Structure 1
Amino acid sequence: MKKSILAALLLIALPLHAQTVAIGTSSSAANPQRSGQAGTGLFSSTSDAVSVSAGGIEIMRVNGNGVGIGTASPVTELDVYSTGPTTGIRNVDTQALGTTSGGAFLAVASAIPAASGQRVGSFIFGAYNGTSAYYPAVITGWASEAWSSTDEGSYIQFETTATGTNSRTAKMLINPSGDVGIGTTTPVNLLDVDGGVAIGTSYAGADTAPINGLIVQGDVGIGTSSPNLPLEVTTNTTALPAPNFSSQIQIGGPDGSFASVDMDAFQNSSSGVGTAIFGRIYGGTNASRTTASGNILGLCGQAYNGTGFPTANSVCIGEATDGTQTTTSAPTSITFGTTPSGSTTRAVVMEINNAGNVGIGTTAPAVSLDLSSRTDAISLPPGTTGQRPGTGVAGMLRYNSTNGIPEFYTSSWLPVPLTASSPIVINSSTGNITCPTCGISSGRTRLMANQTFYISTTGNDGNNCLTVGTACATLNNVWNLIANNYDLAGYTATIQLADGTYTSGLAAELPTTTGPIVINGDSTTPSNVVISVTGENAITGAGAGVSFTIQNLEMTASGSENNDLTAQESAVITMGPGLVFGAVDATSGGQIVAQTQGSIIVSDSYSIVGGGGFHYYAADGSLIRVVSTTITATITGTPAFGQQFASSIQASQIILIGLGYSGSATGSRYTAVLNGIIDTNTGNTSYLPGNAAGTTSLGGQYD
């Protein structure tokens, strides 16, 4: 290029006939010059350069590097120095405006691309201070295939340099198909964005979008060009009517079809999270919601009549708070509302409250299924005898269409009484069912789940004992109630004592059937429940078939030969956690007593807070046995035992292997008489608490 420019300049300056022309060394050289203008012409500025001046100012220089315009030191084929952004290189097309008009700048390669990925031109943006060059931003053109007269596939790439680095990376690409990639160089859609996107005057340039997410300030329409909600989705060509409420999302389906939302969850494990729609309610300015009730989420339906919606939703399923919401208690309920024919007012027809009770026709169900507000009837599922369920479950009820009689299932299908002379009798007060001709005469209730019976110091033995509000007063009453009226069927009956002091103990003599019984006090502070009696044992189990666990309470008994805990006549008592043994008579009272083949099983740690005649006493072939090696008996104070801490007589056994003691007591440590055995598995005669040696006689053994 520089040779061509120099030749052109020489042709202008020289006459047509050959001659030698002297070139001066300054911009005011005498030759060659324009006639009458000594400061305009061609001159040699240095020994290896030719320059052009105008008005005595050098405007162009050609040297061994190239052509410089506005600079005397070009370093590339063409260097143009300007004094401002509006000066420099300008390409003006003088043809009339049209589809091909306008100036252009060409950046081309000197060879035809033979493969994809060959760069054919670029625009480079940077800085040069005469010594160092910086090129941090580039727009480049690339071949996407080998070029020919029919194939010229290409793409454009935009590169920038991140702050704090000096290496350019591609930030945007337009591929041969016109797909634009931002943050990716492999777009496969009209616009691919790798990263977050913010749309809107307030969002763009101000708020950070979520990673690979989208934030939109205005309304979004999918399938519609005129959304009027934050999100409007429709496949219908007809514009959706304005929503009836201040909705945020509106969904419309095609003509003649449903508008639906499909939520799918994919999880490979056998359990996990499915799909859900959440509704949340807050107090003012995102404060906590502490009011007793209020709607949280409603799924409602309306029918559009062409001009508007009904004044209220025609049908709704709603979830609502059902009490004050706290971090430890958040009761809720579900209501079902419909609108009857001839009305526009929706009413709740069914509710499931926070206890799981279902009310039909009532919003305050008191039992599992409450129909108390309805005046019509229940229609039982009909079926022939041959259509009975393959496996009956006690409590099933159906209508037998073969004989036209309702029937229920206990251990077999039985007819429901239809007349006063029916062989089946239902007690309307207790609900007990008897059928003398069927062999059902006890009127006992068969448990279908674990059941708790309640006792409190303010209770009444005339109550049914089944709730805190209908608690009974005494242990004896509840034990006899269970023994006489309930078949446990393998389920646990828990006798729960409220905090307080009880002056009447338990003498459990009636056996119970096929299920464990647990007598429980206060698991947090066992001494809050105290059985303190005079002239009787605090807790006694007597007789074969009497078996229970006692836990989390304190016992104390005063009077001669009265004990804290007694098992006799083949009864079995298990000591659970949290038992506290208080004082008994110092001569004849025992704290843990088994006699006449009774058994007491020590399964958990316990406490001793008072003395007596004996701590352990086993007589007449009875058993006191520790069943764990991690049990500790904690002794508070230094209680005195007037007889022995442990006494085993008459072929009885006290097996204390693994039991540890914390604290001390006074009195004789043990006695084993008449083949009685005390087994600590240590042989240590000082193993048991006390300050006097123990004794054995008449075949008694201590180990």
Structure 2
Amino acid sequence: MTDAIKLKVLPQFPSRLIGRAGIDVSKQSGDYYLDLDYADFPVIGSVPAGATYALIFNPATGQYAQLPISLLGGGIADAPNDGQLYGRKNLAWSVVPGVGAMRELLTAGRTYFVASGGSDSNPGTSAGAPFATIQKAIDVCSATLDLGGQTVAVSVGAGTFAGFVMKAMTGLASLQSFVINGQGATTIINTTIQSNLPLPTGTLQNMQIATGVSAVGINGGMGSRFGLGVGISFGANVYHCALSGGCTLYVPSPLTVNASATFAFYCSTGALLMAEGSGNWSLNGTPNWGSFIHAENGANVRINSVTFTGAATGGRFNATGNATIFTNGGGANYLPGNTAGVTSNGGQYI
């Protein structure tokens, strides 16, 4: 502060004029002045108990005034540390409306854990304190994290778990940046997995999807994009995968089919199934289906450079309603089954 308190004094001599801590004495033209020396005053980190006013200079009036400590934040505790954004209102902290919880920006990868003996009240960040459900792990990641391009894995133990709804992840760099990873065939999902957001949601791997003969294994729609990684197998489902509404499912790795279904893959209304170059698919137990791939209403299936081990019965494919099944010239008997495929109403098998 450049302005200072100046007091003009006229000492009577003989006398001495002494400035104590924070007071400088100077003489100008025979007059003595007392100035506050701010360098002599210590800086403190909190308002002392019992302090009610602070001395402040008002440049508009050129005068000093007393300011209530409360206007400087004195006597008010820190804002709650609960992830929400707070502001000052009526000398107290108040949640800023319309602003959700602040996300944690990751600077390194993270793993959450799910186990059959876990609890959704656990933090889920260690194998010793896992969540009980996959949905809880997804919800926590979706609601509280900004992945910042880092990779987050949900490690699911052996056991039987309920299906779940895939959700959008802030800061997702690729589908492989959010991975739900089981232990292989011993991690069983027994109700439908849903992915119905018009956003990329992540990748599933190392789990068996077996919802029963009256339920869909994986149901994708509404323009969502997700992937199936290594170690995915299908048990009994009415459809192993049902895709619609512009959904895209990427299958870059081999799959295993252990049970029958009405359709192994049902693709409708602009859905895209991408399974190019995904290696060797295994068929166990001679599964049966109406069609291995049923594509309709403008759906697009690309399944080429894939081999199949094992036998199946039922239709190989059905392409109808301007849908396309592209095998890159794989031939009429390329897809598994023992009944010829069918095209109709503008459907194509190439």
TM-score normalized by structure 1?
Answer: 0.37
Equivalence map 1:329-348=2 (5 Å): none
Q: Which residue, 213, 217, 239 being the options, matches 1:590?
A: 239
Which of the numbers 201, 207, 226 marks the counterpart of 1:547?
Answer: 201
Does the CA contact (< 8 Å) of 1:591 and 1:616 recur in 2? Answer: yes
2:217 maps to 1:564? yes
Offset from partner CA, 1:44-91 (integer Å, 9 cap, x none):
xxxxxxxxxxxxxxxxxxxxxxxxxxxxxxxxxxxxxxxxxxxxxxxx
Q: Does 2:185 align with 1:532? A: no
The yes-or-no answer on 1:697 pairing with 2:350 is no
The sequence identity of aligned pairs, in percent, is 25
Q: How does 1:265-414 map to 2 (within 5 A)?
A: none
Q: Which has the higher relative contact order, 1 or 2, with Cα contacts under 8 A spaced 6 or more apart?
A: 2
Distance 1:492 1:420, change over 3 A: farther
Shift of 1:440: 6.7
Larger radius of gyration: 1
Q: Could you tell me which residue of structure 2 aligns to residue 652 of structure 1?
A: 299
Of the candidates 633, 636, 643, which is equivalent to residue 281 of structure 2?
633
The residue number in structure 1 matching 2:259 is: 610
Task: In structure 2, give the amino acid aligned to 1:468.
Answer: A
Question: What SS is found at the alignment partner of 2:136?
Answer: helix
In 2, are the aligned partners of 1:664 and 1:689 still within 8 Å (CA)?
yes
CA distance change for structure 1 residues 455 and 688 in 2, over 3 Å: closer, same or farther? same
Superposed counterparts of 1:149-164, under 5 Å: none
Q: Which residue of 2 aligns with 1:55?
A: none
Question: Given the alignment, which residue of 164, 168, 172 partners 1:506?
Answer: 164
Distance 1:532 1:436, change over 3 A: same
SS of aligned partner of 2:131: coil
Q: CA deviation at 1:695?
A: 0.6
Q: How far apart in 1 are the matches of 2:157 and 2:248? A: 27
Shift of 1:626: 1.5
Is the CA contact (8 Å cut-off) linking 1:620 and 1:650 kept in structure 2? yes
Provide the rounded CA distance (Å) in 2 between the counterparts of 1:676 and 1:465. Answer: 43
Q: Does residue 520 in structure 1 map to residue 173 in structure 2?
A: no
Query: What letter matches 1:487 in structure 2?
Result: D
Is the 1:426–1:434 contact (alpha carbons within 8 Å) kept by the matching residues of 2? Answer: no
What is the match of residue 425 of structure 1? Answer: 79
The structure 2 residue matched to 1:466, chosen from 117, 125, 131, is 125
Residues 304 and 330 in structure 2, CA contact (< 8 A), matched pair in contact too:
no
Paired position in structure 1 for 2:91: none
Q: Check conservation: 1:435, 1:441, Cα contact below 8 A.
A: no
Could you report, residue by residue, the CA deviation over 1:344-370 in whole angstroms, capped at 9, with x for unpaired residues?
A: xxxxxxxxxxxxxxxxxxxxxxxxxxx
Q: Which has the higher strand share?
A: 2
Aligned pairs for 1:10-159 within 5 A? none
Give 3-state SS (helix, strand or coil) of 1:478's partner: helix
Q: How many residues get paired?
A: 271
Distance 2:100 2:197 in 1: 25
For residues 260 and 74 of structure 2, the distance between their equivalents in structure 1, rounded to whole angstroms, comes to 64
Q: Deviations over 1:197-247 (max 9, x none)?
A: xxxxxxxxxxxxxxxxxxxxxxxxxxxxxxxxxxxxxxxxxxxxxxxxxxx
Q: Aligned residue for 1:391? A: none
Tell me which residue corresponds to 1:622: 271
Task: Determine helix, strand or coil for the equivalent of 1:558.
Answer: coil
Q: What RMSD in Å do the two structures reach over aligned CA positions?
A: 2.4
- The answer on whether the counterparts of 2:302 and 2:326 sit within 8 Å (CA) in structure 1 is yes
Tell me if the contact between 1:425 and 1:433 (Cα under 8 Å) persists in the aligned partners: no
1:573 aligns with 2:222: no
SS in 2 for 1:692: coil
1:481 aligns with 2:134: no
Matched residue SS, 1:463: coil
How does 1:430-445 map onto structure 2 within 5 Å?
Answer: 432=83, 434-436=85-87, 441-445=100-104
Q: Deviations over 1:120-177 (max 9, x none)?
A: xxxxxxxxxxxxxxxxxxxxxxxxxxxxxxxxxxxxxxxxxxxxxxxxxxxxxxxxxx
**Structure 2 counterpart of 1:457:** 116
CA distance, structure 2, for counterparts of residue 465 and residue 603 of structure 1: 29
The 3 A distance-change label for structure 1 pair 559 and 636 is closer
